[in-house]
């Protein structure tokens, strides 16, 4: 099978996302860019992730053209390919409809602030206004909201989009963004909301960057 390595990584990641409750049914999609060839492995469209095999993961080029796989690629392929074209540092992308990220994207001031130290790696979290799913328009707005260094954005009335230098990093961004949304939701509900002070966030970001540079 061609591109077996990246297909298996994508399959493992979607299974992990289902196990964590970040993905339900056929919602959500995950992509990984090959290091040598400019191709992307991406979850297929409308197929249950239960019992999925590596050959079911679609292969597309950087413009989203379907090259290989038993099923056509996710309808959100423009979002994943647009981010990978704009950000050569990004090798893996994860889009989910995780419940608390979706809830916290609503309202006039949906900014997510870190509550715990590991969450500092993924702030600031951008906000994308509602745009039709699967469109080039939503792809463009996700690229803009991520900017040069962003790792996570919330998409109103839809979900979130996260990225990283590899699948582990993209999955960590997804897990911690949802954790940030869960902790923020409950703290605001209890009236005890108290995000990390900005100086603390800055110091944590420096620590994390230094650790990753080693």
Active-site residues, by number, are 76
| Sequence-separated (6 or more) residues with CB below 8 Å from residue 54 | 1, 4, 7, 8, 11
Beta strand 152-155 with 126-128 is parallel
Closest by alpha carbon to 17, among 188, 187, 174?
174
163: CB partners within 8 A, 6+ apart: 83, 87, 90, 92, 93, 94, 146, 150, 151, 152, 170, 173
As a residue count, the chain comes to 214
Helix (H) or strand (E) holding 153: strand 152-155
3-class SS of residue 44: strand
């Amino acid at each position: 099978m061609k591109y077996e390595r990246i297909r298996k990584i994508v399959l493992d990641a979607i299974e992990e996302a289902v196990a964590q409750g970040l993905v339900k049914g056929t919602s959500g999609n995950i992509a990984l860019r090959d290091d040598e060839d400019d191709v992307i492995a991406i979850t297929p469209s409308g197929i249950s992730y239960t019992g999925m095999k590596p050959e079911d993961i679609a292969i597309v080029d950087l413009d989203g053209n379907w090259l290989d796989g038993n099923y056509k690629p996710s309808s959100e392929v423009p979002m994943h390919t647009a981010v990978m074209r704009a950000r050569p540092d990004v090798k893996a992308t994860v889009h989910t409809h995780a419940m608390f990220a979706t809830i916290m994207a609503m309202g006039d001031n949906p900014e997510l602030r870190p509550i715990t130290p590991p969450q500092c790696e993924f702030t600031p979290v951008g906000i994308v206004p509602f745009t039709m799913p699967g469109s080039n328009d939503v792809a463009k707005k996700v690229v803009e909201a991520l900017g040069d260094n962003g790792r996570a954005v919330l998409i109103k009335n839809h979900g979130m989009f996260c990225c990283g230098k590899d699948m582990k990093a993209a999955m960590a961004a997804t897990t911690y963004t949802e954790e940030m949304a869960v902790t923020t939701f409950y703290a605001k509900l209890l009236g005890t909301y108290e995000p990390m002070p900005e100086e603390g966030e800055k110091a944590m970001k420096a620590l994390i960057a230094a650790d990753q540079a080693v």
